[in-house]
Each structure stands twice: as C-alpha cells, then as structure tokens.
Amino acid sequence: MAYYFSLPKQLFKDPTATVITSKNKELLGAQIASDGQWRFPQNDTVPEKFKTCILQFEDEYFKFHPGFNPISIFKALRDNLKSGNVKRGGSTLTQQVIRLSRKNQKRSYFEKAIEIILATRLEFRASKNKILAYYSSNAPFGGNVVGLDAASWRYFNRNPHELSWAESALLAVLPNAPSLIYPGKNHEQLLKKRNLLLKKLFQNKAIDKLTYQLSIAEPIPEKPYPLPQIAPHLLQKVSKLYNGKRVRTSVDVHLQKSINALVESHYNQLSQNGIYNAAVLVLDVKTRKVLAYVGNTPTDKAHEKDVDIMDKPRSTGSILKPFLYTAMLDAGDILPNTLVADVPTQFGSYNPENYSKTYDGAVPASRALSRSLNVPSVRMLQEFGLDRFHHYLKALHLKDLKYDANHYGLSLILGGAESNLWDLCKNYAALSSTLNHFSESSSEYFSNEFCEPTFFASETIDFGKKMNEKTLFDAASIYLTYESMKEVNRPEGDENWEFFDGSKQIAWKTGTSFGFRDAWAIGTTKDYVVGVWVGNADGEGRPGLVGVQAAAPLLFDVFEVLPRSNWFSKPFDEMQEVEICKKSGYRASQNCDDVEMTYIQLSGLKTKACPFHIMAHVDATETYQVNASCEDLGQIRNQSWFVLPPLMAYYYKTKNPFYKPLPKFRSDCLGNSAITMEFIYPEEDNHIFLAKDFDGKPNGLILKIAHSKPEATLFWYLDETFMGSTKDIHELALMPREGAHIITVVDEFGNEVKRKMTISK
C-alpha cells in the first residue's frame, strides 16, 4: 500500500481552461487557462482512432508492460552509447505521463531511473485507459495547445471523436515534435511523419488500403482555428462560478446558433439607428432550464460587446403591467373586462400620459393591458394600492427592486423601477409552470414554483411539495391574464398572424422605458418563455427604441425557430361561469340588457354588479326622459341605459360613435335626474405655460367642462370675477395673468366645481 500511495493524489495541477458544452456535449466555448495555455480539463475518454494511432507510434506494447519496456530501454541505451548522443528515449507512454507531470525534467540516466520507478507505481494505481487519458489530456501539441481536446478544436475545428484517420495520425505524431506545427513552416516534415504512421497502420492492418490512400491525400492544417464561441456570455458567467472546469450546460446548441444568427441579423438593422446591444433568453417552462443564452450582440468593444446584459438592471417600462393585472384578478378587485377609466389624470405633480397622447374614456382592463395604456394602468395601481403591489413584486424576488414603495411612487408601473431580463423571464416561466402543474396535477400548486432557473444540464429543479393553496397567484388569474396578453397587436408586418392556420398562440408583452432607452418583449407558451431586451449598454436613448418595434420582431423570430406549443388548459377548478355585462365587463346587474355567460376567477365573485346601467324611463321614441307627471304610464318605456360619468363619457363617445348619452327630461316633466359635471381642462393644480404666436404675444387659454346635461347653462368665474357663460358646448377662452388662479363654474341648477391652476408666460 505504501507503494500505491507514493505518487501524489493529483498528478497534474496546471491551470486549465474553462470549457462549456451543450446538453449533448457539443463544445459551446472555452476560456483560455490562466497561464495562457489552451489546456482543457482532464478528459477520461480517448477516441479509438487516436488511441490506435498513439499506441502504434509511441508504445506498441503499452497494454502489456508494467510501466517500462526493458527491450526498448536496451535498444535506446545501445544506440545512444554507439552514437555518443541521446538518439532514442525508449520511454513508454506511462513514463511520458510521469515526465509531463514532473514538468519535463532534464534528460539524464538518473532522471530516467526515477521515471521508471514512478511509472511502475502509476501502473499499480491506475488503469491503462486512465494512463492513456492522462497522456492525451496533458501532452503538448504545439504552441500554447496542450491536450488532445484543445488540439482537435484548434487544428481541425471539431470534436476529437469526429477526427479522420489522417487527422488522428497527425495529432499522434505531434507530441513527439510539437515545434513542427507552425503556420506556413515545417509542412513537409510534419506530412512525412504523419504518412509514415499511416503506412504503419496500413501494414499492421489497422486501416484498409482505401482508407490509407484517402488519408495520405488529406492536407495538413495551414493555421489554427479560433475555438468556438457560441455562447460567450454564458461562458463568462460559468467561469466566475467554476473557473477551469468543464461544465455541461442545458443549452441546445442548434437553437443557440439559430438565435445567434437572428440576433446578428437584427443587430445589423438596429445599429443603423444607433442601437447596438441586445440580449435573448429562452427557458424551458417544464424543466426551468436555459435552452439559449445570448448576453449581447456581436458589436464592437466601443459599444460594450463583452458586457453580459442578461442580469443588468434596466428600467422596466410597461413589462410589469401583467403582474398588476394578475394581482388585481387574484385579489378579486376586477374581472378580466371590467371597464376602467382612461381620462386625463393627475396625482399631485404626477401626470401620466398614454403613448398615443389620446384617451378612450373607458376601456376594458384586458384591453388596457393588451394595448399597454398608461393612464388606466396608473389608475389601477392607485386603486389597488402601491404598497400592496410592491409586496407582490418583492414576492417575485426581483433583486433590483431595492427600495420601498414610496421611493417609486405610481410610476412603478410605467418603468419607475429597474429589473433584469433573467428575473423577468424567471417569473413569467413560474406563472406558466403554475398553470401547467395545476392542470397536470389534481388542481394543486407547488410550494417552490417561483424558483431560480438553471443552465446546468445535470441539475434538476425541485418544485417543492404539492399543496392546495396557491403559491402567489391562483391559476385562473394567470390564465385570464395570458388570454389578455394573447390579444396584443403584433409587430408591423405580422398583423394578420391570427388568420393563418399554423399561427402560434403566444402570451406576450412589450415595454419601453422613459427616454427610449430600453425596449422589452417577453412572451410565453405552454412550453417556452422567450425574453428580449434591446437598447444601448451605456443607456443612450434612441428614436424608435420602442418595445413593439425594436424587441418584438426579434421575439417572434425566436418563437418561429422553437417547436410549436399547445395553448394552456383552462383551470376550471378555479373558475365559475357567471353572467357578465358585455358593455361594462362587470357582473350583470338586473339593469343590464346585453349579457353573456363567461368563466371568471372564483375571487371575482365578490366584485360588485355593473354600476353603469340604470333603468331609464323614456318616451316611445326614446328621445326624452319622462315620468308620470308628463306622460301616461302606458306610454312610458322602461329602458336599460348604459351611462358613464361625464368625463369618461366625453372621451368615450369620441371612440364609440354608437354611445347614446342619457336623454334629457322633456320640458313639461317635473323633477329630473342627478346632475354631474367635471373639468376636462385644466387638470388639478396644473402649471400652464401659455404659448406665444409669431408676434411674440401669448395665446389664450381654452377651459373645458363635461356636463351630464349639455343643454344646461354654465357660469364661469376666474378668482370670483365673472368671465361669461356657455350653453351646449362648454368651452371658454381666457387670457389670465401670470400666477395662481382658481376657476369656479356654476350651472343653472346651483351645482359648483372649482379648479386651481398656475399660469406662466
């Protein structure tokens, strides 16, 4: 046993390259060792062709000797003494392994004796295959190339198991004279050594005549190839965790190459507009493994090509909106198509605007999400509660969400916070997986659904234990959110996607940060999550750097190269079919005249009935409201009427021409309905700058009000000074002086509204 343990436990301690492979063990990339050598980590598998070549060339009796060959040593000693110089070494492969491990000590008979002793010890401890693997992994192959794996890729750009007989023979003779491999030199000598070995293989019947003839006709390499860099930023990440190791990742090499080509193609277009960086992540929903990882574009160093964007914090834009929508559904605060206000809105000094600068008055919540409308989203956040939503986001483990809710304010939903592509894709995958698990199990949830994805092939995600309680969001709320996200308008050129039979159903969302600095697009199917970020690593904004224009086209190109997925199964156990008012999206009240049966989330059963339908009493022509004071009861029609508040109605009717305001009372009727009025402009506490005309004189200010009875007369006051009256069209032009003012409007029924504003010229 003492003899067995007399060798060091680890023969070779040289630093090695960091190597990553695909899930099928194809080389994705390598990072050179710290000593500047292309030395791959130890590989215990030696290809049969190389094994045959190296044994025929270096050590024919390798399988039989105990570490040294007495006959070879005798012949070498005889020839060396006869010539007076060292002509032959007589070393076995085992002895050469020892010499390599001892850093090629100076050749002498004393050193040779030490090698023989250590070689026999190695033979005692390791198998012949292990010794051969030691040799092939540590032999010099010219320049800074060490080991068969590195040599195969550097000289032939392929895996050593894919080498031809000629290529294997060339690599077998190289360690004997590694200086021969040099671009443009020594070709004849190298070719001669290789062909002599091939001839020996033929004579010993290791290869047939045709193989021999074809092999000697093969050229030898002119210059080294660069090693593959198929996933350079993933290599960068792995090297920080497992420097000098060989790591098998979960990446699909064919998918990775396809997406690399797509990213390069889009980069070539985007760079013409000064947009230089992008990142793409593809996750397998079922295994939560990374299938493709592109950390940046193939740009140049001036534009930060080496920066891995994947985990860098960037402004989220609108990409968090689906989480708010899901949270509100889950809490039972809204139903999928509940009407939400889309009108000019101001919260203190914060004045959100839609991207289009227009308003719909009222819009279904699902449409607000699919169209990414800002004003309804901010109003929904304000209604839901900023702290409450912030709590949900913290539960998603968004590591870049570092401050409390008040730090972000209501802008949180429009990009006021930062996150990264990895975290966002992780959570979209968790939502999709929640749906899948709920359908595949007995309507159960998993405790560790919101876990970290992995890029290691050997790692299996533990989703935790099954339970009846939801992890964060219930399955129905997620499903209904995805149904809304499926309706997003696709990028230009792909508008008619839904009319094609083979179209893929994808739930997806875009985002654009303030100042056009970040463009996002994240989509999911039952099987895959794809995330795309486009922008500039230095934060420079560019016109056109918009989610739907810059990121979404790449997203859909990536989905095109992925296998088709079925749509999610509907989680019926978390849903119930109820009557819904088609116009308002609320649960139908007794006044709703147009209803449909729709599946909603169970938490939605507590939502209130439709507040926008009233029972109106009108004449036979539906021109006027009437009552018993002015019309026979037999002539009065009880009609369901859809009525929005004045400000919502003002904008709603511009987009919905069939909207019918509630008729006014006929003049001969006693009593009338409730009267309301709201300012359209200015907004509360608005600071207004009066524009100047070509003569340098300031233009006037146009004040606007919406009234439930447009025919009513309104009286306008500026700081208690009467300014005029309006009827039918309630707009008034003023030229106020600079400073703070209060506008007061009183209608003919005595109702009053006030608004503060500040004027600058």
pLDDT digits (tens, 9 = 90+) for 273-283: 999 999 999 99
| CA atoms within a 13 Å half-sphere pointing along the CA-CB vector of 467 | 12
In one letter, which amino acid is 761? K
Q: Is the pLDDT of residue 95 over 90?
A: no
Predicted pLDDT at 481: 97
Predicted pLDDT at 70: 66
Determine the average pLDDT of the residues in 4-14.
72
Give the Cα separation of 573 and 315 in Å (integer).
Answer: 37
Among 38, 44, 41, 43, CA closest to 13: 41
Determine the average pLDDT of the residues in 234-260.
96
Q: Do residues 411 and 315 make contact, with C-beta atoms less than 8 angstroms apart?
A: no
Q: Which two tokens stand for residue 205?
A: 């019947």
In this structure, is the dihedral angle defined by the CA atoms of residues 256, 257, 259 and 264, taken in order, positive or negative?
positive
- In terms of DSSP H, where are the helices of 409-525? 421-440, 475-485
pLDDT tier for residue 52 given thresholds of 50, 70 and 90: very high
Q: In what order do the strands lie in the sheet with 731-734?
A: 677-681, 701-707, 731-734
Question: Looking at residue 359, what DSSP letter applies?
Answer: -
Q: Do residues 574 and 557 make contact, with C-beta atoms less than 8 angstroms apart?
A: no
Q: Which two tokens stand for residue 683?
A: 């907004």
Query: Residue 60, Cβ neighbours under 10 Å: how many?
Result: 14
Q: Which residue has the higher pLDDT, 746 or 324?
A: 324
Q: Which residue has the higher pLDDT, 91 or 571?
A: 571
Q: Which two tokens stand for residue 180?
A: 């021969």
C-alpha angle 381-387-392 in degrees, rounded to nearest 5: 80
φ/ψ bin of 143: left (φ > 0), alpha (ψ from -120 to 50), beta (otherwise): left
Question: Looking at residue 501, what DSSP letter applies?
Answer: T
Give the Cα separation of 377 and 373 in Å (integer).
Answer: 6
pLDDT tier for residue 120 given thresholds of 50, 70 and 90: confident
pLDDT tier for residue 440 given thresholds of 50, 70 and 90: very high
Q: Is the pLDDT of residue 76 over 60?
A: no
Give the Cα separation of 649 and 646 in Å (integer).
Answer: 5
Predicted pLDDT at 501: 35
Predicted pLDDT at 265: 97
Strand, coil or helix: 133? helix
Q: Is the pLDDT of residue 369 over 60?
A: yes
Cα end-to-end distance, the chain, whole Å: 97
pLDDT tier for residue 90 given thresholds of 50, 70 and 90: low
Peptide bond into 364 cis (omega under 30): no
Give the Cα separation of 533 and 547 in Å (integer).
Answer: 8
pLDDT digits (tens, 9 = 90+) for 734-758: 888 888 999 999 887 667 899 998 8
Query: What are the φ and ψ backbone dihedral angles of 170, each rounded to 5 degrees?
Result: -60, -45
Global pTM value: 0.85
pLDDT tier for residue 188 given thresholds of 50, 70 and 90: confident
Q: Rounded to 10 degrees, what is the CA torsion of 402, 403, 407, 410? A: 60
Q: Which residue has the higher pLDDT, 63 or 558?
A: 558
Beta bridge partners of 714: 726, 747
Domains and CATH numbers, the chain: 4-217 (1.10.3810.10), 313-487 (3.40.710.10), 574-602 (no CATH), 677-760 (2.60.40.10)
% of the chain residues with pLDDT over 70: 91
Q: Is the pLDDT of residue 493 over 60?
A: no
Give the Cα separation of 140 and 152 in Å (integer).
Answer: 12
Give the Cα separation of 424 and 415 in Å (integer).
Answer: 13
pLDDT tier for residue 271 given thresholds of 50, 70 and 90: very high
Predicted pLDDT at 667: 79
Q: Which of the residue ranges 67-71, 234-238, 325-329 would you say has the lowest mean pLDDT?
A: 67-71
Q: Which two tokens stand for residue 506?
A: 């994808």
Among 511, 550, 512, CA closest to 534: 550
Q: Do residues 576 and 600 make contact, with C-beta atoms less than 8 angstroms apart?
A: yes
pLDDT tier for residue 23 given thresholds of 50, 70 and 90: very high
Give the Cα separation of 305 and 377 in Å (integer).
Answer: 35
pLDDT tier for residue 252 given thresholds of 50, 70 and 90: very high
Predicted pLDDT at 87: 47
pLDDT digits (tens, 9 = 90+) for 607-661: 999 999 989 888 888 888 888 888 888 888 888 999 888 888 888 988 898 899 8
Q: Of all helices (H) and strands (E), which one includes residue 745?
A: strand 739-747
Q: Which of the residue ranges 24-38, 414-428, 515-529, 695-709 would you say has the lowest mean pLDDT?
A: 695-709
Predicted pLDDT at 491: 53
Q: Which residue has the higher pLDDT, 703 or 7?
A: 703
Determine the average pLDDT of the residues in 658-675.
78
pLDDT tier for residue 80 given thresholds of 50, 70 and 90: low
Beta bridge partners of 596: 580
Strand, coil or helix: 294? strand
Give the Cα separation of 711 and 499 in Å (integer).
Answer: 47
Predicted pLDDT at 650: 84
Query: Residue 277, Cβ neighbours under 10 Å: how many?
Result: 23
Q: Do residues 145 and 175 make contact, with C-beta atoms less than 8 angstroms apart?
A: no
Which residues lie closer than 8 Å to 712 by C-beta, 6 or more apart? 675, 727, 747, 748, 749
pLDDT tier for residue 500 given thresholds of 50, 70 and 90: very low
Give the Cα separation of 42 and 14 in Å (integer).
Answer: 11
Q: Do residues 326 and 554 make contact, with C-beta atoms less than 8 angstroms apart?
A: no
Query: Residue 624, Cβ neighbours under 10 Å: how many?
Result: 17
3-state SS string over 548-611?
A: HHHHHHHHHHHHHCCCCCCCCCCCHHHEEEEEEECCCCCECCCCCCCEEEEEEEHHHHHCCECC
Q: Do residues 529 and 285 make contact, with C-beta atoms less than 8 angstroms apart?
A: yes
Beta strand extents in 232-332 (DSSP E only) = 246-248, 277-284, 289-294, 314-315
pLDDT, the chain, mean: 88
Query: Residue 204, Cβ neighbours under 10 Å: how many?
Result: 11
**Of 33-42, 171-180, 645-654, which has the strongest mean pLDDT?**
33-42
Predicted pLDDT at 286: 96
Predicted pLDDT at 74: 53
Q: Which of the residue ranges 16-20, 93-97, 163-167, 250-254 would you say has the lowest mean pLDDT?
A: 93-97
Q: Is the pLDDT of residue 449 over 70?
A: yes
Beta strand extents in 643-738 (DSSP E only) = 677-681, 686-689, 701-707, 713-718, 721-727, 731-734
Give the Cα separation of 482 and 474 in Å (integer).
Answer: 13
Q: Which residue has the higher pLDDT, 455 or 504?
A: 455
Give the Cα separation of 709 and 662 in Å (integer).
Answer: 9
Q: Which residue has the higher pLDDT, 308 or 669?
A: 308
Distance of CA 522 to the CA centre of its chain: 6
DSSP3 helix / strand / coil % (the chain, rounded to 5): 35, 20, 45
pLDDT tier for residue 497 given thresholds of 50, 70 and 90: very low
> Is residue 656 exposed (0-12), middle (13-18) or buried (19+ Cβ within 10 Å)?
middle
Q: Which residue has the higher pLDDT, 235 or 725?
A: 235
Predicted pLDDT at 146: 94
